[in-house]
Amino acid sequence: MRAFEVDDVAVPGVRQRDEGLRLENVTVRYGSTTALSGIDLSAPGGEVLAVLGPSGGGKSTLLRTVAGLEGASRGAVRFGGEDLSGVPVHRRGFGMVFQDGQLFGHRDVAGNVEFGLRMRSVGRRERSREVARLLELVGLAGYQRRRVSELSGGQAQRVALARALAARPRLLLLDEPLSGLDRMLRERLAVDLAELLADSATTAVVVTHDLDEAFTLADRVAVLSEGRVLQEERPRRLWTRPADEEVAGFLGCTTFLRGRIEDGVASCPLGSVPCPGEHAGEVLLGLRATGVRAHRSGTERHPGRRGEVVRRLHRHDHVRLTVAVPELAGAELLEAVVADTDVPDPGEDVALALDPAGVALLGR
Amino acid sequence: MFRTRRSGRTGAVTTPGKPAGSAARRPLLFVGAVAVLGFLGVFFAWPVLAILHRGLRPETALVLVDHGTWRIVAFTLGQAAASTALALAAGMPLAYLLARVRIPGKVLLRAVITVPFVLPTLVVGMAFRALLGTAEPSVSAIVLANAFFNVAVVARTVGGLWAQLDRRAEDAARSLGAGPLRTFGTVTLPALRPALWSATAVVFLFCSTSFGVVLVLGAGRYRTLETEIYLRTVRMLDLSGAAALSLLQLAAVLAALAVAALARRRRESAGGVRAAERPARNPRGAEWLVVAAGGAVLAALLVPIGALLVRSVSSRSGWSLAGYRALSGTGDGALGVSGWQAALNSLRTATDATWMALSLGVLACLVLISLRKRWTAELMDTALMLPLGVSAVTVGFGYLITLQLLPGDLRTSPLLVPFAQALVVTPLVVRTVLPVLRSVDERLREAAATLGAGPWRVRREVDLPLAGRAICTAAGFGFVVALGEFGATGFLARPEAPTLPVAISELISRPGELNTQMAYASCALLMLVTAGAVLVIESLRTDSVGEF
Amino acid sequence: MKRHTARRMRAAVATAAVLLVAGCSLIGTDGGSEGETVTLVTHDSFAISDEARRHFERESGYELRVNKMGDAGALTNELVLTKDAPVGDVAFGVDSTFYSRALDFDVFEPYRPQGSGSIPVKYAVVDPRLTPVDAGDVCVNIDKSWFAQHDVPEPENLADLTEPRYRGLFAVPSPATSSPGMAFLLNTIDGFGRQEGWKNYWRQLMSNDVRISSGWQEAYNQDFSGSAGNGQRPIVLSYASSPAAEVGEDGESRTRALLDTCYRQVEYAGVLTGAEHPKRARELMDFLLSWKFQSQVSEQMYVYPTVLGVDLPENWQDVAPLPPEPAEMNPEVVEQNREQWVSQWRELTRS
């Protein structure tokens, strides 16, 4: 058994840098339901692809199909140019980090981390050296003999990551790797993870419903909904130029206003934002709450559209308002933010202005 | 086994919904299934079908229209149901004690509650007859004695899972305002269901095929399918009638198993099993009531055991150890061997039966969890359970007319006894191990696969260790069952190698005080051997979920 | 922790290996025996002294293998079932009750062993296929001391047992589930008439509170006051030989068989049809009738030898003499009516 397991796995360290992962027209069906239909995606060698989307949109199925845990009804998953349809999970040489870690409870931390190495018959001494290195890498040096039941959620997820990395995967698959963790930890771990992936130049696919996570980690982001890829883009461009209302909605846009672009400036009834390089024509503006700034009406320095505060919500670094603007067709109620220092009360009138950072241009 | 690479074809069509490369595990699955079903076929299906075939004649159907037959069916099922209910009721507090209460010497407790299971039914029947003072046929005595034998099954099966349940779910329920009883009903009990169903199925089968107890305490008046099949086959050579009753028994057993299968639909994988959290602690508040109930059950179990022990040191003229001294001899020639040798025979036979049943049972479990089609799995599961529900005499007589066709006439081989015992023990192994394996999170296996473990490596690295505790439990219990097995053993054991239960039966079937004393001393020896075996196996069993 | 459990696991595996290797397994114990063997198929009660066994093996040069197959009924039925592929060479233990069935199914081959000329007429059978080897008469036994203490006269015959003064004193195993029970039923049928007579007798027994148990074990070893069980009832159905097992230190038996209540059960042996070793089988048959074997059947199996001139053990003459005129029934009649009688008996005793 062992002999052919070893040579089937890609030789550690050698990467097919250019080809990477390609999904071609992948369709997955469960009985009569279609979980994925006609997916075309790619993650070139060394890049991190984030798959973003609402729950139940097929993100996990996508990841499981790549891992070989699900079979595609049609289409092909390729890595480094090779069609993987006949390659079982354990010979794909892909590492996977599951949502809740899925650590082996019957093994200690070292036993978990070295698992993949044992599967490839790596000697004991080298295993322990490798385990030490990886635990150091994920910030858990010296945790070898801990029982996994004694670990905190963050630690468990780090161990899961170390375990997946230990096998030197050609491709790392991360399924909502941080979603079970508390916010502070999640943010910190996302940054750590991003650095780690960048440093090791690992090709990876991250599935998540968390925007921050996706944008922190990914070189490219694909938005998946109802089994289809709605858009695949570099993060910054996705953020500012979502393809349609659905994508924009998922990226936090709550209000959509028609407008026009002329001379590198997009204008709408609430004001205008610069968009150098965009050609002239009709455009749909997607406004996030942060795209609309409210100011107390009393101050005449802020002309523009006015509205009445309906609700007020304190967030950790700003105050969010719901503002009624009766004369604005299609956006009678919109979300706006206001600086902490100048908070209007419900019922008060406020002046509204666009903040370019929170405005996306659709259909571009 | 070598992978077929379908390179260079884009859009290759694979079977929908199946993981890539699953074909690679099919041959292994096939080999495993063939091994398990092959054993079952040769040592169970073939003999049973052969003896049924020999008996089936047109007039066989006449038995089915006989009023008396249906009375027997009704009584069989009724007493089995009552016995099962009682065993469950009595077994649950003990399971709680084993799983959740910190008691010093718990291993000893485990050993003690296991002892009843091995005792010869004839001797226990006689003990109940004496203790209850009912020499008259008595249904309640039958039910009590059946429950006495099977409390251990419930306590061990349920206790095993209970000990592995995550206690936090209960804590959560308590914090949400559920009382202890409510918590038990809404959280603990549903999580225990897989084990409860297992125990119920096994106990029901044991009780419905209970032979010695029904015979002794029913004084020949209360008849079950099992006793009737025995009498018709062995005494009357009415194979036709026996075949009809055997078919009825088979139908009843299948019906019971079908009900159990329906009931456990999607439930066998209930509560999350994880590495032991050491959930035992000191009882609080109302939990003491359960502890008290457990204590009462324990005391009730100890009464017949104590009575047998007292009996083993009694003589007409007061206390005497004559029975024990006689163990070094052969009775007055009643046995082919000395009592000690019989004990050794028991150990050797049970060892063989245990490793056979463990190999088969674990292999069967691995095959069962690999089967994707639910009905195939159910079917195979049911097939594995059948030997518990079919009369030992049917199987034994079947052996006589089939096994000579195999090379090396197994009918007179010393290995036939462990084979037959393994047939009885294997279902117990399956029922103990399968629920645990079904409760293993599929993603753990997937995690192992993504780390490079092939299908059987996953079984070895994930399933077996996680089921390690259950496998040890099954080994211990299986060993004990084999030690006490009499139905098939009494039928097949060769005189030069009688096991203790066989020796006891021979001793008690002879007149003379010394024979009787030696029979009871042998009972004590059997209990001692059992308790010792349980202690040894329990001490090998690791505290955390086993690491292989 | 892990190292610890791993060590334990290794210990467990090692223990298992040691157990298997150290002979805690039956594998390899059979190993085709080196010498020539002859196999005796018999019932569970069969026993033979080491000395007699060694004698046979030395004289014949064959190793004697014994295959026990349940009680006399089970044995007979198993022989019938395995007729085409017998599990031995000689069968011993088919009794009068099952005699006809064995013959009807041609289980045995004709053979008249040496010494069969010394079998007295009372045991002799016409058919050359079966040879009477011993007799084990089924009789009512009583606890002598109980009757002495309670100042009740001892019963002497079956009719006495229905008298009011013996009410609640008699324990008997069921004919449906026990061999001696069956013999007792046949005895009552023989003694009181095949039509209504025996039924009336049983009705009287029932109303005299007879205690019916499923097996001889419960009746004798538990209900009977004269055995080690110290039961409540001083009258029990057992064997003519049973008192020999209840001899106290004074050499007197605590119990007595009522010689007028006995039913003769003869146990037969024969060469099995299709035996693998017919010649050895015949030698074994000769041995079963030899003085060496016959002289030890009483002590080993609590039965009476059938060959003339073989003496009973010394104290048996006093405590367990052979019943002089036991009842008997034609085996063919038994074979034809057995099941019907049992079911009639069941009806009768279902209160």
Each residue's pLDDT tens digit, B336-391: 788 888 888 888 888 889 999 999 999 999 888 888 777 888 888 888 888 888 88
**Six token digits for residue A66:** 């790549």
* pLDDT recorded at residue A196: 85
Q: What is the residue-averaged pLDDT of chain B?
A: 81
Lowest-pLDDT choice from A6-20, B16-30, B126-140: A6-20
Instruction: Sketch out chain C's domains with CATH numbers.
Output: 36-135+265-319 (3.40.190.10), 138-263+326-349 (3.40.190.10)
pLDDT tens digits for A83-110?
988 888 888 889 899 888 889 988 899 9
Q: Do B8 and A83 touch (CB under 8 A)?
A: yes
What is the spatial distance between Cα A311 and Cα A319, in angstroms, rounded to a whole number? 10
Partners of residue B2 in chain A, C-beta under 8 Å: 4
Q: Which of A85, A115, A171 to mutate to test the interface with B (most CBs of B within 10 A)?
A: A85
Lowest-pLDDT choice from A293-297, B74-78, B203-207: A293-297
Domain boundaries, chain A: 2-240, 243-364
Interface check for B479 against chain C (CB to CB < 8 A): the answer is no
pLDDT tens digits for C193-250?
988 999 999 999 999 999 999 889 899 988 999 988 788 999 999 999 999 999 888 8
Q: What mean pLDDT comes out for the span B134-160?
A: 88
Q: Identify the CA nearest to A157 among candidates A177, A132, A137.
A: A177
* pLDDT recorded at residue A187: 83
pLDDT tens digits for C152-198?
999 999 999 999 999 999 999 999 888 899 999 999 999 999 889 99
Per-residue pLDDT for B453 more than 60?
A: yes
Torsion of CA A53, A58, A60, A66, to 10 degrees: -110
What is the spatial distance between Cα B112 and Cα B115, in angstroms, rounded to a whole number? 5
For residue C39, what is the nearest residue in chain B, using CA coordinates?
A: B412
Q: Higher model confidence: residue B267 or residue C187?
A: C187
Per-residue pLDDT for C141 more than 90?
A: yes
Per-residue pLDDT for B32 more than 90?
A: no
Q: Do A94 and B457 touch (CB under 8 A)?
A: no
Strands in A33-43's sheet, in edge-to-edge order, are: A33-43, A21-30, A74-79, A82-83
* Residues 6 or more apart in contact with residue A40 via CB below 8 angstroms: A23, A24, A25, A26, A229
Type of residue at A51: V
B12 → closest Cβ in A30, A76, A92: A76
The gap between the terminal CA atoms of chain C, to the nearest Å, is 66
What is the spatial distance between Cα B35 and Cα A59, in angstroms, rounded to a whole number? 40
**With bands split at pLDDT 50, 70 and 90, how would you rate the model's confidence at A8?**
very low
CB B20 within 8 A of CB A87: yes
Report strand pairing: A349-354 vs A21-30. Answer: unpaired
CATH topology of domain A2-240: Rossmann fold (3.40.50)
**Six token digits for residue A281:** 């024509």
Chains that touch A (3 or more CB pairs under 8 A): B, C
* pLDDT recorded at residue B267: 46
Q: Do C245 and B512 touch (CB under 8 A)?
A: yes
Per-residue pLDDT for C147 more than 60?
A: yes
pLDDT tens digits for C10-68?
666 666 666 655 556 666 555 445 578 999 999 888 889 989 999 999 999 999 988 88
Q: What mean pLDDT comes out for the span B517-530?
A: 89
Partners of residue C9 in chain A, C-beta under 8 Å: none
What is the spatial distance between Cα C237 and Cα C258, in angstroms, rounded to a whole number? 10
User: How many of the other CB atoms lie within 10 Å of CB of B251?
Assistant: 11
Instruction: Sketch out chain B's domains with CATH numbers.
Output: 33-278+318-540 (1.10.3720.10)
Interface check for B473 against chain C (CB to CB < 8 A): the answer is no
Interface check for C4 against chain A (CB to CB < 8 A): the answer is no
Interface check for B465 against chain A (CB to CB < 8 A): the answer is yes
Q: Among positive and negative, which fits the CA dihedral B280, B283, B289, B291?
A: positive
What is the spatial distance between Cα B65 and Cα C231, in angstroms, rounded to a whole number? 42
Give me the helices (H) in C163-263, please: 179-192, 197-207, 216-218
CATH topology of domain A243-364: OB fold (Dihydrolipoamide Acetyltransferase, E2P) (2.40.50)
Per-residue pLDDT for B545 more than 50?
A: no
B547 → closest Cβ in C5, C26, C217: C5
What is the spatial distance between Cα B533 and Cα B207, in angstroms, rounded to a whole number? 25
The shortest C-alpha distance from B251 to chain C (Å) reads 25
Interface check for B316 against chain C (CB to CB < 8 A): the answer is yes
Interface check for B486 against chain C (CB to CB < 8 A): the answer is no
Chains that touch C (3 or more CB pairs under 8 A): A, B
Torsion of CA C331, C333, C335, C339, to 10 degrees: -140
Q: Identify the CA nearest to A160 among candidates A95, A66, A71.
A: A95
Partners of residue B274 in chain A, C-beta under 8 Å: 105, 149
Q: Do B401 and C230 touch (CB under 8 A)?
A: no
Q: Do C350 and B221 touch (CB under 8 A)?
A: yes
**With bands split at pLDDT 50, 70 and 90, how would you rate the model's confidence at C257?**
very high
Q: Do B511 and C27 touch (CB under 8 A)?
A: no
Interface check for A284 against chain B (CB to CB < 8 A): the answer is no
* pLDDT recorded at residue B268: 47
Q: What mean pLDDT comes out for the span B173-202?
A: 82
Q: Identify the CA nearest to A21 among candidates A76, A88, A86, A89.
A: A76
CA B370 to chain centre: 24
Give me the helices (H) in chain C, please: 2-21, 50-60, 72-81, 99-104, 144-150, 179-192, 197-207, 216-218, 278-288, 291-294, 297-301, 316-319, 331-349
Tell me what ipTM this predicted complex has: 0.85
Interface check for C2 against chain A (CB to CB < 8 A): the answer is yes
pLDDT tens digits for C279-319?
999 999 999 999 999 999 998 888 999 998 888 888 898 89
Q: Do B13 and A163 touch (CB under 8 A)?
A: no
* pLDDT recorded at residue C34: 58
What is the spatial distance between Cα C312 and Cα C316, in angstroms, rounded to a whole number? 6
Interface check for A301 against chain B (CB to CB < 8 A): the answer is no
pLDDT tens digits for A109-156?
999 999 999 998 889 999 999 999 999 988 899 999 998 888 888 889
Lowest-pLDDT choice from A14-23, A212-221, B205-214: A14-23
Partners of residue C349 in chain B, C-beta under 8 Å: 221
Angstrom CA distances, C56 to A308, B160, B498, C48, stand at 118, 55, 23, 11
**Six token digits for residue B107:** 């291993």
Q: Higher model confidence: residue A270 or residue B495?
A: A270
Partners of residue B18 in chain A, C-beta under 8 Å: 71
Per-residue pLDDT for A42 more than 70?
A: yes
Q: Do C24 and B351 touch (CB under 8 A)?
A: yes
**Six token digits for residue B520:** 């009871």
**Six token digits for residue C331:** 């085996």
What is the spatial distance between Cα C142 and Cα C134, in angstroms, rounded to a whole number? 24
Per-residue pLDDT for A11 more than 50?
A: no
Give me the helices (H) in C128-250, please: 144-150, 179-192, 197-207, 216-218
Per-residue pLDDT for C351 more than 60?
A: no
CB B292 within 8 A of CB B101: no
Residues 410-429 of B with CB under 8 A from C: 411-415, 417-418
Interface check for B334 against chain C (CB to CB < 8 A): the answer is yes
DSSP class of residue B482?
A: H
Q: Higher model confidence: residue A11 or residue C187?
A: C187
Q: What mean pLDDT comes out for the span A20-45?
A: 89
- The C-alpha angle B38, B44, B45, rounded to 5 degrees, equals 80
What is the spatial distance between Cα B166 and Cα B162, in angstroms, rounded to a whole number? 9
The shortest C-alpha distance from B58 to chain C (Å) reads 20
Q: Do A116 and B452 touch (CB under 8 A)?
A: yes
Phi, psi of A257 (to 5 degrees): -130, 140
Per-residue pLDDT for B21 more than 50?
A: no
Interface check for B336 against chain A (CB to CB < 8 A): the answer is no
**With bands split at pLDDT 50, 70 and 90, how would you rate the model's confidence at B257?**
confident
